[in-house]
Amino acid sequence: MKQTGRYFSAFIDGKGKFAETATVKEPDLKWVREGYAGGGMVGEVEVGLILEALKGELTLFNYDTDAINIFGVTPGVPQAFQFRRELFDTREQGSESVVIHMKATMDLEFPEWNRKNLEGVKLPLFIHTYRRFVNGIEQYHVDPEGMIFRVNGNDVLAEARRAIGR
């Protein structure tokens, strides 16, 4: 697996590129667990019930505020974002393409910009849906409202959706 990121771009709704120099923190996929003891069980087991809220962070170093405004990014309104990354390893030939699709809301509070600000602008992402592809193969698809949780093609909630008629 390639680990070093070399190039990056960020798009709004797959149409407008609004940043070339940025980093994105993907959400942690953590289950909220609760103890369960059914009839006849001699002890309790931990059962994953739901995922924690999906949160990420976008840090921009070189961005276009006009592109953000043109494509209608409004604080509190879900927007489709696409992040593309090329990963490579100096010991191996070739590279991997990582594409992340998110529907998220973000807070647009841009601080005053100056040359000494090397940390960039950090924007929290409140994620509604999350999909991650490596070389065109889906690794994750998480849509809490749609009751979708797929990992490497395995639909973890398929039986649960069938059981409740979804």
Residue spans per domain, the chain: 4-27+54-163
Confidence at residue 137, expressed as pLDDT on a 0 to 100 scale: 94
pTM above 0.85? Answer: no
Rounded to whole angstroms, how far apart are CA atoms 82 and 78? 13
Confidence at residue 150, expressed as pLDDT on a 0 to 100 scale: 93
- State both tokens at 77: 């309104």
Confidence at residue 36, expressed as pLDDT on a 0 to 100 scale: 84
Confidence at residue 162, expressed as pLDDT on a 0 to 100 scale: 93
Cα dist from 98 to 20, 29, 47, 142, whole Å: 15, 18, 31, 16
Q: Are 54 and 42 in contact (CB under 8 A)?
A: no
State the greatest distance between any 2 C-alpha atoms of the chain, in Å, as a whole number. 67
Q: Are 142 and 54 in contact (CB under 8 A)?
A: yes
pLDDT by residue, tens only, the chain of 166 residues? 556 666 777 777 766 676 666 678 888 888 888 888 888 888 899 887 778 889 988 877 766 666 666 666 677 788 888 888 887 777 777 788 889 999 998 776 655 655 565 567 777 889 999 999 999 999 999 998 899 999 998 998 899 889 999 8
- Looking at domain 4-27+54-163, its CATH class is mainly beta
Confidence at residue 143, expressed as pLDDT on a 0 to 100 scale: 93
Cα dihedral 92, 135, 1, 80 sign? positive
Confidence at residue 113, expressed as pLDDT on a 0 to 100 scale: 56
